[in-house]
């Protein structure tokens, strides 16, 4: 009984491997290589890198200027708040004594 089962499994494995071997095909000959050897317009990446650096430096300057412009009103508001708190604290200490 064991021999029958083992032999049937072996036959099934062989039939499966043969069916997979039949699936691969050779599909004709390769096409000849065609390469255009004419020079086209050249992209000068080196000048592009330098231009990018200049624009990045300009953007950095603009961002710092923008940061300063946005922070200026906040600084003024903090100074007013601190002055108002000092005045309030001065009146509190004189009221308590």
pLDDT confidence of residue 25:
63
Q: Which residues of 45-66 are buried (b: 16+ CB within 10 A; e: fewer)?
A: eeeeeeeeeeeeeeeeeeeeee
Q: Splitting the chain (97 residues) into consecutive groups of 10 residues, what average pLDDT does each group show?
A: 78 61 64 76 87 96 95 95 94 69
Dihedral sign (CA 65, 71, 73, 78) = negative
Model confidence, pTM? 0.43
């Amino acid at each position: 009984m064991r021999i029958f089962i083992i032999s049937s499994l072996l036959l099934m494995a062989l039939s499966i491997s043969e069916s997979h071997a039949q699936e691969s095909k050779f599909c004709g000959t390769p096409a000849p290589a065609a390469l255009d050897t004419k020079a086209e317009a050249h992209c000068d990446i080196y000048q592009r890198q330098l231009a990018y650096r200049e624009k990045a430096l300009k953007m950095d300057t603009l961002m710092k200027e923008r940061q300063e412009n946005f922070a200026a009103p906040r600084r003024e508001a903090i100074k007013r708040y601190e002055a108002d708190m000092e005045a309030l604290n001065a009146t509190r200490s004189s009221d308590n004594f």
